[in-house]
Structure 1
Amino acid sequence: MNLQDELILRLATLFADQQVQLDNVRQGQQLITNYFGFDISLVYEPGLNNQLNEMSRYSNTKKEYPKILDLNNLEEEFNNRLIYEGFLMLNKNDELSEYELKLLNMFDAKTLYVESVLDDNDRIFGIVINAGKRLEYSNEEFNLLHITNAMLIKYTSFNLYKKRLRFAQKSLEKILDNTGIDIYVNDFNTHDILYVNESMASPYGGKDKFMGNKCWQVLFPGQTGPCEFCPQKKIIDEKGNPTKVYIWDYQRAFDGSWFRVFSSAFTWIDGRLAHIVSSADITDNKKNEELIKYMAHYDSLTKLPNRRMLLEKCKAKIDNASENEQGYLLFFDIDGFKLINDNFGHDAGDEFLINLGEFFSNIPMLKDSIYRNGGDEFVALIGKVEKESIRSLCHFILERFKKPWELKKGTVFCGVSIGVACYPEDGNSASQLLQVADRAMYNVKKTGGGNMLFGYEIED
């Protein structure tokens, strides 16, 4: 067996290991370097920002060589030759460009042989470099060098691809962990967790708490089966094929946080049907929605529900009223309220209205039934009581208004005029009942105020 055949056989034996070992790579580099009289053999692998980092080296010198190759800084011609020709052979005896001489000096060489590793998109993601002082190489030696480097590249390519795949996987995980969206995937049928990102797993103790378990075992400890609200039936058709994304809102029990949840079915990497659940924290949005809703339905001064809420609640009560059910709408208007503002200022007027709101709210029959209609007008909705109970309530309120009200700026006296409308005899809508109660109240005011009147008692 000649030396060439022996070299190829030794490399073939070395690279027969299906698991790429760096020791095998270095031994292969050693065989090639020593056979062809090179000083150094370098294998570069993908790094960040279009850089190549040294993966393995074998050197017969103590000289320093670049550990990082930045493809952004290399000449376009160099990159193109490695992409389209796959290799580059530079010899100092040849006529070289200024840049080619610069490459030789970079590796302190008289001969430089570079062979590239390309990805599926024909981009450089690995390079093998042999450099040394020997000048003369025959065509037979060059062909052998090409064969042996090809064997080295084929062996290392698998490792380079695995590293690139791991890098891509880690990059994707980083992206998914930092999107601000919680994500997990489970088996559609068994509910076993297949994937979870960091933001989803963190509140529950980390990813290890998820993997190997069913979703409900982690999310709802102690539960023995799938959640009743699980939307799986909404994300597949009658044949079990994935349909569209289903969107729903969910409140987490242990901290009250709200999430907008997106559920969809899809085919997992091994062919099974999977359920991906992604969610975004909308707690602040919910709070804002509640605030907007509160501001739309509650009076900012007295904190009582306002006229809009009054109309909505009155309509709901009428819509849900049973046959022969009676209800009452009480309209309160303060007698002499303007004098408080004139004598003590609007701050005192506001203080008085706040006190009135608290007074009405503390009456058991009016609790959760009193509304500020606007200005110095208050309205109450009361159902399922006798007419005489309404009359007794009004007299109790009238008696209280005969006493002084203590404010920060002094003592004030006010009366109240009360109009009462009855459902259904005075109307079957909020507007009709308000109109009747308002007329009854004004009839009281015309007679001096400080009294109450039912709608049916109005004298036209």
Structure 2
Amino acid sequence: MEETGAKLILALAELLGAKQVETDVIDRALAMISSEFAFDGGLVYELDQYNVLHLKEHSLRSGFTCQPSFDLDEIDAAYRSYLAQEIFVLLEQGQNNTAAEEALLQLFAARSLVVGSVVDENLQIYGLLVFVRQTVRPLTAAEHRLLTTVLPMFGRYLGVRVYRNRLAFASNSLESILDNTGIDIYVNDFYNHDILYANKSMAAPYGGIAQFLGRKCWEVLFPGQNGPCSFCPQQKLIDENGEPTKIYSWDYQRPFDGSWFRVFSAAFRWVDGRLAHVVSSADITENKHNEALIEYLANYDALTELPNRRMLVQECERRLAQLEDGGKGYLLFFDIDGFKNINDTFGHEAGDEFLVQLGQFFLGIPMLKGSIYRNGGDEFVAIIDGDKTEDHIRNLAGFIHRRFNKPWQLKSGAVFCNVSIGVARYPEDGRKVEELLLKADQAMYRVKKAGGKGICFDYEQAD
């Protein structure tokens, strides 16, 4: 036995000395050990991520069946801990076995078992090496010593594959996480800008991963560009010693489809120690659209789609601030004469229809384009600056009044009404928005009081 045992050890050492773990090598090793010890066969099981042991290789005599897979939890937890610490255990029927040992014998439908475990550094089982017999035959002392030598050799060889499989699973899991976070990610060399990594969601719009690796980031993201982007925030990511500092965030709009992204940039050390730049981005196109919608709703009248009073005040303040010394401007306040009759006669839908038509009419006047606002209800305000004179303003009022001499055609019928116009001058009547609005409103009220359908500057009485 000693001589044949030495030969087996040498043969296995030579067979298992290869760096690459191969199935045919494992099959040959199983056959050699089974033959040496008169086992009916040998089995190799490997644990998956779901805690299930799967049969990977086997060498069995004909007529012997084996368990293709089973849950690791089918082995008692305390007994698993025992297995993980032993080089191997021998189980035989009729030997005062514990319940856990009897369960193992039944699991493999054998009368005798030799079980060795493949474990990690924490003594967690990740594989089993099992040899079975249909007869009960105790091991001799020499056989026990020989198994104590060859099973660890075999287990270390299998452990390489287990480790690589676990590493591949961890890598694939991380890759899957990165590909399904909803975040686009790529990494490039901090100094030469070569792309080192990109996840699938980042690469997909540009033709896939193959379009990224080994190329400069700007070559992929901005075809035709021949150098780093002017807006690249890299220098914000390192300190004066060239060491990584903090994450920098910014918003970016992709040029070829208009999509918006919230971008996060950071410097860090790549796996080989070089300084790298990781760029991650989340699609915020919908958020941008929602922000634009909220901004629009805050600044524009939903009915007429004209800018509202809030926008009027902001824009008037901006224009007043931009007027140079000696600059002049006018604020016109429009109030519809007889608007209540439209609502009372035809209903509020007709009133809304009229206001929409009126807004479109105002927008069609060159002097009012980009300068007309709905103040609320049937009130409109216009801001006119530049080289305009009072004569220009009166001519504008005349044009508007001539339109009001004609009927407005609504779905419910033709309606007649008119408009009272009050005018405040800048700077004569005020230098602040609220002052000008008040003066224009007061001038408009004087027109109303005088019967409507007219124009009045703040400094004069209504006609």
SS of 1:456's equivalent?
A: coil
TM-score normalised by length of structure 1: 0.96
Residue number in structure 2 paired with 1:414: 417
Q: 1:339-368 deviations in whole A, cap 9, x for unaligned?
A: 111111111111111110000011111111
**2:115 is aligned with 1:130:** no
1:375 aligned to which of 377, 382, 402:
377
**For residue 433 of structure 1, what is the aligned residue in structure 2?**
436
The residue that corresponds to 1:331 in the other structure is 333
| SS state at 1:38 partner | coil
Q: Tell me the residue number matched to 2:249.
A: 247
Deviation string 1:353-388 (CA, Å, 9 cap, x unpaired) is: 111000001111111111000010001112213212
Partners in 1 of 2:385 and 2:241 — Cα distance?
52
Letter of the 1:199 counterpart: S
What does residue 193 of structure 2 align with?
A: 191
**In 1, Cα distance between the equivalents of 2:388 and 2:157?**
94
**Mean Cα displacement is larger for which, 75-84 or 154-163?**
75-84
Return the letter of the residue paired with 2:260. Answer: W
Moved over 4 A (4+): none
Cα separation, 2, equivalents of 1:313 and 1:327: 13
CA RMSD of aligned residues (A): 1.7
| Aligned match of 2:180 | 178
2:445 alignment partner in structure 1: 442
Partner deviation per Cα, 1:382-402 (whole Å, 9 max, x = no partner): 221321222221221122112
Q: Is the 8 A contact 1:110 1:135 kept in 2?
A: no
Equivalent pairs counted in the alignment come to 459
Instruction: Say if 2:193 is the partner of 1:220.
Output: no
* Mapped contact 2:75–2:104 kept (Cα < 8 A): no
What amino acid sits opposite 1:37 in the alignment?
A
Gaps of 5+ in 2: none
Query: Out of 289, 294, 303, which is 1:301 matched to?
Result: 303
The correspondence of residues 107-186 of structure 1 with structure 2, limited to 5 A, is 107-132=108-133, 133-186=135-188
- C-alpha separation in 1, matches of 2:460 and 2:84: 100
Separation in structure 2 between the aligned mates of residue 182 and residue 121 of structure 1, nearest angstrom: 36
Pick from 365, 368, 375: which aligns with 1:366? 368
Residue 119 to residue 327, structure 1, CA distance change in 2 (3 Å): farther
Shift of residue 97, structure 1, vs aligned partner: 2.4
In the TM superposition, residue 134 of structure 1 has moved relative to its aligned partner by 4.8
Deviations 1:113-153 (A, max 9, x none): 11112223332111111112351212221121021010011
Q: Which runs of 5+ in 1 are unaligned?
A: none
Compared CA separation, residues 120 and 391, structure 1 to 2 (3 A):
farther
Aligned to 1:87: 88
Q: AA paired with 1:205?
A: G
Partner Cα separation in structure 2 for residue 96 and residue 9 of structure 1: 35
Provide the rounded CA distance (Å) in 2 between the counterparts of 1:101 and 1:90: 8
* 318-327 vs 241-250, greater mean Cα deviation: 318-327
For residues 261-317 of structure 1, give each alpha carbon's deviation from its aligned partner in whole angstroms, at most 9, with x where no partner exists: 111111111111111111111121112111111111111111111101111111111
Residue aligned with 1:66, SS: coil
Distance of 2:175 and 2:207 partners within structure 1: 18
SS of structure 2 residue aligned to 1:324: coil
Q: Contact between 2:46 and 2:56, CA under 8 Å: does it hold in 1? A: yes
Q: 1:392 and 1:122 mapped to 2: Cα distance?
A: 95
Q: Percent identity?
A: 53
**Cα shift readout 1:406-452 (whole Å, capped 9, x = no counterpart):** 11112211111111112222222211111111111112112221111
Give the match for residue 318 of structure 2.
316
Corresponding position of 1:32: 33
| CA–CA separation in structure 1 for the residues paired with 2:347 and 2:98 | 93
Give the letter aligned to residue 10 of structure 2: L
Distance 2:10 2:155 in 1: 16
Shift in alpha-carbon separation, 1:293–1:84, aligned structure 2, 3 A: same
CA-CA distance at 1:458 after TM superposition: 5.0
Separation (CA, whole Å) in 1 of partners of 2:159 and 2:255: 50
Secondary structure at the aligned position of 1:381 is classed as: strand
Letter in 2 for 1:366: L
CA distance in 1, matches of 2:127, 2:325: 84
1:281 alignment partner AA: D
Describe the shift of the 1:120–1:456 C-alpha distance in structure 2 as closer, same or farther (beyond 3 A).
farther
Q: Is residue 46–residue 53 contact of structure 1 (8 Å, CA) maintained in 2?
A: yes
- Provide the secondary structure at the position in 2 that maps to 1:52: strand
Using the TM superposition, name which of 437-446 and 299-308 deviates more: 437-446
Note if contact 1:37-1:134 (Cα within 8 Å) is conserved in structure 2: no
Alpha-carbon distance in 2 for matches of 1:355, 1:8: 99
**1:331 Cα deviation after fit:** 0.8
What residue number does 2:74 align with?
A: 73
Partner of 2:210: 208
Q: Contact 1:33 / 1:40 at 8 angstroms: preserved in 2?
A: yes
Answer yes or no: is the 8 Å Cα contact 1:52–1:69 preserved in 2: yes
Partner of 1:396: 399
Q: How does 1:346-365 map to 2 (within 5 A)?
A: 346-365=348-367
8 Å contact 2:39–2:132 — kept in the other structure?
Answer: yes
Q: Distance in 2 between matches of 1:422 and 1:143?
A: 110
Contact 1:118 1:124 in 2 (8 A): yes
Q: CA deviation at 1:93?
A: 4.5
The amino acid that maps onto 1:270 is: D
The amino acid across from 1:395 in the alignment is G
Alpha-carbon contact 1:46-1:164 (below 8 Å) kept: no
TM-score, structure 2 as length reference: 0.95
Farther-moved stretch of structure 1 (199-208 vs 68-77): 68-77
Distance across 2 between alignment mates of 1:39 and 1:183 = 54
Paired letter, 1:25: I
Q: 8 Å contact 1:40–1:130 — kept in the other structure?
A: yes
* 3-state SS in 2 of match to 1:457: coil
Partner of 1:42: 43
Pairing 1:54-69 to 2, within 5 Å after superposition: 54-69=55-70
Cα offsets for 1:195-226 (capped at 9, x unmatched): 11111111111111111212111111111111
1:227-238 alignment runs, 5 A limit: 227-238=229-240
